[in-house]
Amino acid sequence: MGIDVDGITPLGETALLTLYARALDSRSPRTILGDKGADRIAAGIDYDFAGLGLVTSVVCQAALRTKMLDDRVRTFVAGHPDAVVVDLGAGLDDGMSRVQPPASVDWYSVDLPAVIALRDRVVPANARAHSVPQSLTGDHWPDPIPAGQPTMLIANGLLAFLSEQEIISLFTAVTGHFKSGELAFNDYGRIGWVSREMAKLAPQRMFKAVSGQWSGYPGFKDAHRPEAWNPRLKLVEETSLAHAPEVELFPAWLRVATRFSGRIPSLARKARILRYTF
Ligand X SMILES: C[S@@+](CC[C@H](N)C(=O)[O-])C[C@H]1O[C@@H](n2cnc3c(N)ncnc32)[C@H](O)[C@@H]1O
Chain residues binding ligand X by CB under 6 A are 11-12, 14-15, 18-19, 89-91, 93, 111-112, 115, 135-137, 156-158, 161
C-beta of 31: minimal distance to ligand X in Å? Answer: 16
- Those residues whose C-beta lies under 8 Å from the C-beta of residue 132, and which sit 6 or more positions away, are 108, 109, 110, 111, 116, 141, 144, 145
Closest residue (Cβ) to ligand X?
Answer: 91
Name the residue nearer to ligand X (CB basis): 135 or 239. Answer: 135
Name the residue nearer to ligand X (CB basis): 76 or 161. Answer: 161
Q: Which helix or strand (DSSP H or E) is residue 226 part of? A: helix 225-229
C-beta of 15: minimal distance to ligand X in Å? Answer: 3
Name the residue nearer to ligand X (CB basis): 84 or 167. Answer: 167
CA triple 111-14-37, angle to 5 deg:
80
CA dist 167 and 36 (Å) reads 32
C-beta of 265: minimal distance to ligand X in Å? Answer: 26
C-beta of 263: minimal distance to ligand X in Å? Answer: 28
Name the residue nearer to ligand X (CB basis): 151 or 169. Answer: 169
How many other C-beta atoms can be found within 10 angstroms of the C-beta atom of residue 65? 23
| HSE-up of residue 172 (Cα within 13 Å, Cβ side) | 12
Q: Are 204 and 229 in contact (CB under 8 A)?
A: no
C-beta of 65: minimal distance to ligand X in Å? Answer: 8
Name the residue nearer to ligand X (CB basis): 135 or 180. Answer: 135
- Those residues whose C-beta lies under 8 Å from the C-beta of residue 221, and which sit 6 or more positions away, are 189, 190, 269
